[in-house]
Structure 1
Amino acid sequence: MAIAEVSVIPIGTGSTSLSSYVADMQRVLETVEGVTYELTSMGTIIEGPLGRILAAVEALHESPFTGGAQRVSTSVKIDDRRDTTSTSRGKIESVERKLLGN
């Protein structure tokens, strides 16, 4: 399972507020099978098989165009670890254990 951090920025929207675009993109993610996701203040974390994540990224990238944006900039970071199952929460818990000296 892979983990991706995705940030989609609609450009040419006529407003500095992007929350309606973000809400639309979260609705799009609800339709993508085989992934889990978490909205953060600066992007979205998506977990699942790499192919499903890439399908989700494509759907997210297209969403602002449907909402009227004239340009979209999308940034993606992917952590694809194949020696063990990894989750976003598991990565955080590993660091927290090390902070506690465990």
Structure 2
Amino acid sequence: MTTVALLSVAPVIEGSMAGEVAKAVDALEEFDVTYETNPMGTVIEAEEAIEVFAAARAAHEAVDGDRVSTFLKIDDKRTATSSAADKVAAVEDELGREARGE
């Protein structure tokens, strides 16, 4: 995969956003992407950036509310192939350990 992105979609509301965030994550199922949700957003991987844009738009539109805040950061590697896992592994190789703390 050549495109890795970080997507964060959240309604501007008080209280828990979990239900609305779940709608955004569920919308990704309709696209040819892989994804992993973490506490700060969802990492999306796809062969082409256009797939990420389409999935992000659907996730944004899936959230109900008068105001929705969406952040999308894309790493579109056009001359090489590396996954999100490859990127983490490279950092761990430099560290000589896992890139996580207890």
Q: TM-score, normalised by structure 2?
A: 0.86
- The answer to whether residue 54 in structure 2 is matched with residue 55 in structure 1 is yes
Shift of the alpha carbon at 1:84? 1.1
Shift of the alpha carbon at 1:81? 1.0
Shift of the alpha carbon at 1:31? 1.4
Q: TM-score, normalised by structure 1?
A: 0.86
The runs of 4+ residues in structure 1 deviating greater than 6 Å are: none
Equivalenced residue count is 95
Shift of the alpha carbon at 1:10? 0.4
Residue matched to 2:15 = 16
Quick one: distance in 1 between partners of 2:90 and 2:79? 16
SS of residue paired to 1:96: helix
Quick one: distance in 2 between partners of 1:5 and 1:57? 10
Q: Any stretches of 5+ residues in structure 2 without a counterpart?
A: 98-102
Amino acid at match of 2:25: Q
SS of residue paired to 1:4: strand
Residue matched to 2:100 = none
Counterparts in 2 of 1:36-75, with a 5 A limit? 36-48=34-46, 49-65=48-64, 69-75=65-71
Let me know the Cα RMSD of the aligned residues: 1.4
Q: For residues 10-36 of structure 1, what are the alpha-carbon distances to aligned partners after superposition, in whole Å with 9 as ceiling and x for unaligned?
A: 02x4x410111111112111112x211
Q: Any stretches of 5+ residues in structure 1 without a counterpart?
A: none
Quick one: distance in 2 between partners of 1:59 and 1:46? 13
Residue matched to 2:72 = 76
